[in-house]
Amino acid sequence: MSDLDQLRADLIPAIEQAPALDALESMRVSALGKQGSITALLKTLGGMTPEQRTSEGPRIHSLREAVTDAIAARKAVLEADALAAKLAAERVDLTLPADMPPPGGVHPVAQVMDELAEIFADMGFAVATGPEIEDDWHNFTALNIPETHPARAMHDTFYVDGPDGERRVLRTHTSPVQIRTMTSQKPPIRIIAPGRVYRSDSDATHTPMFHQIEGLVIDKGITLAHLKWTLETFLKAFFERDDIVLRLRPSYFPFTEPGVEVDVGFTWIKGKRVIGGDGNAADGGWMEVLGSGMVHARVLENCGLDPNEWQGFAFGTGVDRLAMLKYGMDDLRAFFDGDIRWLKHYGFGALDVPTLSGGVGA
């Protein structure tokens, strides 16, 4: 009994007067650690008789609880004192400049998407979207590309198994959005359909995943003249030049009749092609920028529209390609490498106003 009383008399005052947290931790280890004095007493309980254990056990446990409570109380006091001392010693100088993280950048594809949406919004177009995993009907059949049509070979692409067992395709163009729009709302229709598309192709100007924007107008009395004016107005606004000259060449697309490829005039300046000019000058030429045409009557019928009442035009181009032409990039693959150095060079500040030279930093 006298040993326990003496241990209590020695430990409790020492704990209550511990000068620092490290000293308090040393006291805890010496009393309650594996080799501690109280731990040693607890180990003796196993060798006692039942009568001794009944009388001594509660006293030893009481001592352990008293020491544990004293340590916790002293620790709280010491931590509070340490915090108060830290707060008293530290000061924040609000006149110093903020330590700002490195600024982020807007990817050129996102920037061009925003530019296109704004240009076409001014022309009365709405933005429409659709799923990137499509069924065969929306991606091919409704667009006058039946299963045996050779045009499917041009869309050599990626297929997945659908939940219903039917084969699905990663959309090869955003044209399915046109089909979904024509089957879900009545004309007149005026939309653009931007988004990701997928084809099995990869080189300096092609990637398996790229971005496309398509446009669709359905109304009464629509002609190729409306198409040409729309594209000319769009390209003038996008490239910020009034000397844009277009050349429409007959071409074949299953979903248009007639179909036309659209070329834009360019001039050579310091070894680079710059959009603008009539394309016929000695220092110029023509560059294909998009495909277009009048919506095929069969496509209108597939969407439940009478081709004798409704006419329309459609067009499509690559967003990545437009970014390359406007901002002077020469390799499409770099768009998707995830190299932060490339984005710092070609990216845009979130609050920047895009210009012809914007994004091409030092």
The pLDDT tens digits for 190-246 are 999 999 999 887 666 667 888 999 999 999 999 999 999 999 999 999 988 888 889
Q: What is the pLDDT of residues 275-302, one digit of tens each?
A: 887 777 677 888 889 999 999 999 999 9
Indicate the range of 149-158, 234-243, 259-268 predicted with least confidence: 149-158
Determine the Cα–Cα distance for residues 362 and 359; give it in Å rounded to an integer. 9
Closest CA to 44 of 34, 35, 53, 32: 53
* pLDDT band, very low/low/confident/very high, at 353 (cuts 50, 70, 90): low
Report in angstroms the alpha-carbon separations of 191 from 12, 39, 51, 115, 138: 81, 80, 93, 15, 17
Distance separating alpha carbons of residues 96 and 49, to the nearest angstrom: 72
Mean of pLDDT values over 153-163: 76
Tell me: pLDDT of 322 over 60: yes
75 within 8 A of 22, measured Cβ to Cβ: no
Where b means 16+ CB within 10 Å and e means fewer, 121-143 reads: eeeebebbebeeebbbebbbebb
Predicted local confidence at residue 203, as pLDDT:
66
Mean pLDDT of the chain: 85
Q: Rounded to an integer, what distance in angstroms lies between the CA atom of residue 318 and that of residue 213?
A: 6
Q: How do the domains of the chain map onto residue ranges?
A: 2-89, 108-132+170-346
Query: What is 108-132+170-346's CATH number, 3.30.930.10, 1.10.533.10, 3.30.565.10, 3.30.450.90?
Result: 3.30.930.10
* pTM beyond cutoff 0.85: no
Distance CA(154)–CA(157), nearest Å, equals 9
pLDDT the model gives residue 321: 85
Higher pLDDT among residues 297 and 57, named by residue: 297
pLDDT at 305: 95
Give CA–CA dist 153/166, Å, rounded.
20
β-pair partners for 269: 272
pLDDT at 89 over 70: yes
User: What's the token pair of residue 69?
Assistant: 């409570």
Q: Do residues 178 and 189 make contact, with C-beta atoms less than 8 angstroms apart?
A: no
Confidence at 80, pLDDT banded by 50, 70, 90: very high
Q: Tell me if the bond preceding 258 is cis, omega within 30° of 0.
A: yes
- Check whether 354 has a pLDDT greater than 60: no
Angle at which helix 37-44 crosses helix 21-32, to 10 degrees, equals 20
